[in-house]
Amino acid sequence: MRIILLFLLLFLPLFSDHNKRLEMGQKESRGHIPKNLQALELSKVQHDSLKTILQEHRSKLMNLHEEEEKLEEMLKELFKSEKFDKESFLAKKESLKLKMATIETDFFLKLHGLFNAKQRVLFAQYIEEWEVE
Model pLDDT for residues 30-61, shown as the tens digit of each residue: 555 557 788 888 899 999 999 999 999 999 99
Amino acid letter, residue 59: S
pLDDT attached to residue 11: 58
pLDDT-based confidence at 133, cuts 50/70/90?
Answer: confident
pLDDT attached to residue 68: 93
Give the span between the Cα atoms of 98 and 104, in whole angstroms.
10
- Burial class, 111, CB count within 10 angstroms (exposed 0-12 / middle 13-18 / buried 19+): buried
- The verdict on pTM exceeding 0.85 is no
Model pLDDT for residues 63-108, shown as the tens digit of each residue: 999 999 999 999 999 889 999 888 988 999 999 999 999 999 999 9
Average per-residue pLDDT in the chain? 81
